[in-house]
Amino acid sequence: MKVTTDYTKQANPDTMYGGAMSSYRMLYWLKDILCNFMSDPVNIKDDRICKLLNMQDGATPEQLNALFDVGVAYSESTKKACTTPMIFISLGPRQYPVRGINFIGSEPDSICGWTPMRQGCKHKIINMVITIMTEKYDSTVVFTDLFEDFLLINEDLFKQDNGMISEFHVTGVSAPEMQQIGQSAHAKVIYVQKISVSAVGGISWTSDTQGPVFRGVEMQVSQQ
């Protein structure tokens, strides 16, 4: 079976279900969820956001690509430095609760030295941060409220959409923060607010002995 890190590729009918929970796929899934939400003008009820994005009938694909990015704000590799408004989606720390271990199978045979097939799984928690940046305090607060409410309301629905996860939670929202020129490589004064979310999934595995290996027979003739 082909394994792909891009959940949008049709490697198999259940590509979001195959393999372990992946931080890469989680990042781009969350980005696509937010992009899809912003693409429908019905969801944008605040005129201030419409004016900020210059939206009439919803955000165009070009506007969405300019609005969202994945990674570190204003890194050397990004071409969107000093662009506002901007929403960055980045990874936080990962955690592995001890309660998640579960082995299925018999114990190794200490006499013969063989190891039977074993199946195991472990819970995995991926934390992510959605950073909203605009040039005005009010704009940052309005944007953050929009995404915060959308994520809170749809926590349970995200589990149905993304087969990799069993839980999705909004874990907190930071206070709005003003960043001066030169701070974090900004070329202008901006206001930043962060939404922290976490997703719970798992990693599973099966281990088994290789079994006997036939190495072949080689004839050697000695001359005396």
- Give the pLDDT of residue 2: 46
Better-scored residue on pLDDT, 36 or 193: 193
Tell me what percent of the residues of the chain surpass a pLDDT of 70.
65
Please tell me the pTM assigned to this model: 0.75
CA 121 and chain centroid, separation: 20
Strands (E), the chain: 68-70, 86-95, 102-104, 118-134, 167-173, 177-179, 190-207
Residue type, 105: G
Better-scored residue on pLDDT, 223 or 40: 40
CA 21 and chain centroid, separation: 9
Mean pLDDT score across all residues of the chain: 76
| DSSP secondary structure code for residue 43 in this structure | G
Please state the rounded mean pLDDT for residues 102-118. 54
Q: pLDDT by residue (tens digit) across 126-175?
A: 999 999 998 899 989 999 999 999 999 999 999 888 888 889 999 999 99
Give dist(CA 86, CA 75) in Å, integer.
Answer: 13
Please name every residue paired with 88 in a beta bridge, in sequence order, or none if there are none. 69, 131
Residue 220: how many CB atoms within 10 A of its CB? 4
- Give the pLDDT of residue 62: 74
For the chain, the domains span: 23-105+116-207
- Give the pLDDT of residue 76: 57
